[in-house]
Each structure stands twice: as C-alpha cells, then as structure tokens.
Amino acid sequence: MSQDKAPQQFDAIIVGAGFAGLYMLHRMRQLGLKARVLEAGSGAGGTWFWNRYPGARCDIESMQYSYQFDDGLQQEWEWSERYAAQPELLRYVAHVIERFQLASDIQYNTRVERAHFDDSAARWLVETNSGERFSAQFCVMATGCLSSTNMPKFEGMADFKGAIYHTGQWPQDGVDFSALRVGVIGTGSSAIQSIPIIAEQAAHLHVFQRTPNYSVPAQNGPMDPQVAREIKANYAEYRALGKSQLLAYDLKMNHQLAANATPEEIRAECEFRWQTGGLYFYGAFADMLVSQEANDVIAQFVRDKIRAKVRDPKVADLLSPTTVFGCKRICADTGYFETFNRDNVTLVDVSKTPIERLTTAGLSVAGKIYELDAIVFATGFDAMTGSLERIDIRGRQGLPLADKWQAGPRTYLGLQTAGFPNLFTISGPGSPSVLTCMITSIEQHVDFIADAIVHLRTHGQQCMEPLLEAEDAWVEHVNEVAGGTLLNSCNSWYLGANVPGKPRVFMPYLGFPAYVEKCRQVAANGYEGFKLDVA
Ligand code: N01
C-alpha cells in the first residue's frame, strides 16, 4: 500500500451502502463508534442501486422485505405495491438515510480496492481507488451477495457495433429500446422480469436461452390498504412469524408432506400457491425440496401451467424446465411466458449449440448470425464470494482471502473466516443470506456483530476471529444440510456453477431459525468457536 499520507482513523470501516451497510452504520453509531461507509456507487441501495433494468422488482412482498429494527419506520412507510419496484426501494433507502441522518458518514464514488490486516497494530488498512487510506479496528464487508456481475467472455465482444448492457449494471438514465433489434442472453430472474417490458418496446426481441427456468406469476398489484393496516396493527407478531420460518419470511407454510397427500390435494395446494403468487410456492409441501417424487409432481403442475400459456407447443417445450423445482431460485413474473406468444419475440435455444461469438452485426449461434442493435446480458452474478474476492483482502501474515478460499469459501457462521481478525462479512457464504428475506438476515447479522463488539469492549479485548476447528465444523454442517435436500442437483449460482472455473460448493446455509438459534447459543457461551483476545 502507498505510504505517502497517514491513513484516516476510524473504529470501523463499512464497505457498501446497501441495506446491510446502512443498518451497520446506524448500530455502530448507537455504540458510540466512529464509522465510515465506503460505497463504490454514486448513491445508496446496493444491489437495488445497480439493478435498474426494466421491470426490476423485489420478489418478496414489501411488507416483509423491509427493515424491522425500528417500529416508527415500519409504521410510517407506505408501500404502493404488493411487491416494491426498484425505484420505490431506492426511495425507501433515501428515507432511511434521512430519518436516521446517516448521510454524513457515507462516502460515495469510493471503491475499496484493498483491505490488509496489519499484524503489529491489529488494525485494518483500507485503500480506495482514489488512493485514500483508512485505518480501523473493525472492517465490515457489507458488499452484498449479488453485486458482482457475471459477464461471459464471448469472442468478438469488442467487434459488436451495437450497445451492450448487463442487467446488474444498468445505466442510470435508462435505455429506450424502441424500434431496436434486441437480444437478451439468459432466462433467470432478471431476464424474466425485463423480457416482457423490452418486448413491448423493441422492434424484435431474440431471447437466447441456455436453461429454462420455473417462474410463477408474481400476482403483483397495488398495496391493499386493509392488508397493510392489519399487518401494521400486529407488525411484531407478523415479523416473528416470518422469522420462525425456514426462509425468514412468511411462506404460508403447509407442513403436510406431498407424499401423504392425494393428487387432488396436491393440485389444490399448487393452485392456491399459483394464485397467491411468486415465492409462496416454497411453502407448498414440507417435502418439496427433499423428495424427488414430491418435487416431480409439483414441477409437473408448473410445466402444465407453462404449456397452457404458450401457444406454440415447440416453444412451450423449450420453456419448460426439467430440473428440480426450486433448485434454482423460483422466479416471480408478470407476463413472462405470454411474451413468447408475441410476433416480435423469438426464443433461441442455446443449450446444445452455445453462443459462438459476437460479430460486428450481432451474435452467432450454430453458424447463424442474429443481427442486433443491442444485447442485454442477463447473465447474473459471481454470487456471494465475487464482491469479496474482487477486493484484495489480506489477513494475518498477508494471507490473501482469495488464496484461502481457492477451493471454495470457508467461514464460521458466514460471519468471519479464520486468519482475518475483526473482519466481518454481512450475509457471507455459510449464512442463510440468499435463502432468506435478505433484510431480515442482514439485521440479524448486524445485531450479532454489534453485540460481539460490545462484548469485546466490555471484556477489554480487541480481536475476534473463528477457531479453525469451529470453522471447519461449520463448513461441514452447511454442506451436510444442503446435501440432505435437492438443492445440489442443478447448476445454480448457489453452487457457483454459473461462473466458469468457480469451485462447486453450496454456499448459503438453509434454515434461518436453526441458524439464529446457533448464533444465540454461540453468543450466550461467550462467543463459542471464536478466539477473543487482546491483539
Ligand atoms: O441471474 P441467474 P439473474 N450463455 O444466474 C444464463 C436475484 N434476483 O440476474 O441457467 C448463455 O439466475 C444462465 O443460464 P444457465 C435472485 O435471487 C432477484 O437472473 O446458467 N446463457 C441463466 O439463464 C436470482 O436468482 C430478483 O444455463 C448464459 C442466466 O444467464 C439472482 O438474483 C430479480 C451464459 C443468469 O441467471 C440472479 O438472477 C433479479 C452463457 N455463457 C434477480 N451465462 C427479484 O427480486 C449465463 N447464462 C425478483
């Protein structure tokens, strides 16, 4: 690191001004700590700041996908729709910043490039893209799970004369596709939300699909004021109900096993989930993600629905997934499958004949050039580890995090990794994170970190890091839990399978309530599994 100017001194540096960074800053301040948030973007909101593609919308209901740490906040904020669209989420973020007067400690347009632990001083030295340096006892990575984009490296990218976009790095001024020939690569959540809107604008839209995805109608609409009133009247109970469930939000969980249900009962339950919308399907049957037979029946129900929506049977076939339902995150859409009935939309199957290259005029598949004016990469993220590994993070004795995680991420509780004292990851790999309502998981992590810092300070200790054996045991447990389900059975980003060369390791921990209980026990036992000491 360059040494020309003394680093600015802080108790804590927080990397990222998304939901995690903002709440962490708030808690740090409450503890009387001097903290600074460093944010690469020109505004706050994290993943919602960058993902501005047409149709970007949360797939968990607004009344659940929101902060719960302050009752005043959750009572006063009024969501306009059942599922919040990206602009409304950014308005909410701005409101939170204003309400808790966070702005003065957030530094935008500041990309953290390095974070090195100084063994002798037991402090983190953080350096940014502009060469600014910060020294802090604690370094909190609030860098998000889905913030580092996955951009396939096709040959000829530089030759293409049209415009290239990635859904996860969408231009702030938006894009007008009117009268353009557009190609969308990918059929994950981002594509499924943006395709119906792009299709309405474009002269012609080609969708390049490698793997079809299950999608359920979101059933979005204006927020029902009566529903909002009822939830707000008992918000604490509603939040507790959410936290008691596997994914940390209310799924209207049906505890029945599909194995014990009649075909009529299964059909009725699936129909109820289809009509209720979106991710409620995760709560359909208790064995949906553990029994192949149960999953097959539910998957067939969804395939039948797809076939009923898409007029051309060949296109319907191509759009019908054969993988385990829910193995990849279920998508929630508004008019996705119907979009393929439009005359100006063509589905191109690239499962057996991959995209070969980009040319000056477009994109080539199986020797055929598809002429395009714009290509949208809806190709997802280097999820969970990408944003951490793109920063040069080094722990004790200069050990690079990327080296330690070469064969896959290793953490204790997704919160810390051995050899990196006082470095915390909010919703890190090995925590429930992406398998939950993210804001709920974020609040739980932030509170754990804040409590741990209080513990250190009251006991005159300075450093906290996991014991290697606790970390190893946790990594094994995370794998064991995933191994007992069908979640390992497809090429999902949960496994890093979407990024060429990334180690295939199931990264998130399935089971929010069990995880919270484990964290509670760890803290109650004096931060069992962590090493706490003076330096
Ligand atoms: O990314 P994805 P996403 N050639 O990885 C394809 C959250 N999210 O941005 O399946 C051709 O799911 C790839 O194909 P395949 C949500 O958790 C939430 O859509 O790997 N195709 C796949 O179809 C979600 O799960 C919301 O064969 C290539 C697509 O690109 C997560 O973010 C909205 C390719 C990537 O799909 C990620 O979603 C949006 C290649 N070389 C996102 N490389 C809501 O809240 C990749 N693909 C609603």
**Domains of the chain, earliest start first:** 8-148+383-533 (3.50.50.60), 251-308 (no CATH)
SS3 220: coil
Supply the pLDDT for residue 81: 98
Would you say residue 193 has pLDDT above 80?
Answer: yes
Burial 430-446 (b: 16+ CB within 10 A, else e): bbbbbbbbbbbbbbbbb
Would you say residue 482 has pLDDT above 70?
Answer: yes
Supply the pLDDT for residue 44: 98
Q: Give the model confidence (pLDDT) of 413-451 as tens digits.
A: 999 999 999 999 999 999 999 999 999 999 999 999 999
- When pLDDT is cut at 50, 70 and 90, the band that residue 249 belongs to is very high
Contact 430, 529 (CB under 8 A): no
- Ligand 1 centre distance from Cα of residue 311 (Å): 25
Residue 531 dihedral angles phi and psi, to the nearest 5°: -100, 120
Q: Give the model confidence (pLDDT) of 146-161 as tens digits.
A: 999 999 999 999 999 9
Task: Report the candidate in 338, 348, 370 with the shortest Cα–Cα distance to residue 199.
Answer: 338
Supply the pLDDT for residue 278: 84
In sequence order, which residues have a C-beta less than 8 Å from that of residue 355 and are 6 or more positions away? 152, 154, 185, 208, 363, 364, 365
d(CA 364, CA 284) in angstroms, rounded, equals: 41
Supply the pLDDT for residue 125: 98
Supply the pLDDT for residue 2: 52
SS3 419: coil
- Ligand 1 centre distance from Cα of residue 498 (Å): 8
10 Å CB burial of residue 151 (0-12, 13-18, 19+) is middle
Give the closest residue (by CA) to ligand 1 atom 3: 380
Contact 361, 333 (CB under 8 A): no
- When pLDDT is cut at 50, 70 and 90, the band that residue 4 belongs to is low
Residue type, 60: I
- Ligand 1 centre distance from Cα of residue 150 (Å): 9
Would you say residue 535 has pLDDT above 80?
Answer: no
Give the closest residue (by CA) to ligand 1 atom 13: 186
In sequence order, which residues have a C-beta less than 8 Å from that of residue 321 and are 6 or more positions away? 211, 212, 213, 214, 299, 303
Give the mutation target among 189, 439, 489 for probing the ligand 1 site: most ligand atoms within 8 A of CB. Answer: 189
The pocket around ligand 1, CB under 6 angstroms, is made up of 57-59, 146, 152, 167, 185-191, 193, 208, 210-211, 329, 332, 350, 355, 378-381, 434, 491, 493, 498
Supply the pLDDT for residue 353: 97
Task: Report the candidate in 211, 246, 434, 431 with the shortest Cα–Cα distance to residue 324.
Answer: 211
Contact 308, 323 (CB under 8 A): no
Supply the pLDDT for residue 3: 61
- When pLDDT is cut at 50, 70 and 90, the band that residue 5 belongs to is confident
Average the pLDDT over 357-385 and give the result: 97
Ligand 1 atom at shortest distance from the alpha carbon of 192: 19
Contact 11, 34 (CB under 8 A): yes
Percent of the chain exceeding pLDDT 90 equals: 98
SS3 73: helix
In sequence order, which residues have a C-beta less than 8 Å from that of residue 148 and are 6 or more positions away? 381, 382, 383, 386, 387, 390
Give the mutation target among 190, 370, 375 for probing the ligand 1 site: most ligand atoms within 8 A of CB. Answer: 190
- When pLDDT is cut at 50, 70 and 90, the band that residue 1 belongs to is low
- Ligand 1 centre distance from Cα of residue 262 (Å): 34
- Ligand 1 centre distance from Cα of residue 57 (Å): 15
- Ligand 1 centre distance from Cα of residue 145 (Å): 13
Percent of the chain exceeding pLDDT 70 equals: 99
- When pLDDT is cut at 50, 70 and 90, the band that residue 136 belongs to is very high
The chain-wide mean pLDDT, for the chain, equals: 97
Average the pLDDT over 300-307 and give the result: 98
- Ligand 1 centre distance from Cα of residue 211 (Å): 10
Contact 232, 75 (CB under 8 A): yes
Give the mutation target among 210, 347, 375 for probing the ligand 1 site: most ligand atoms within 8 A of CB. Answer: 210
- When pLDDT is cut at 50, 70 and 90, the band that residue 534 belongs to is confident
- Ligand 1 centre distance from Cα of residue 521 (Å): 36
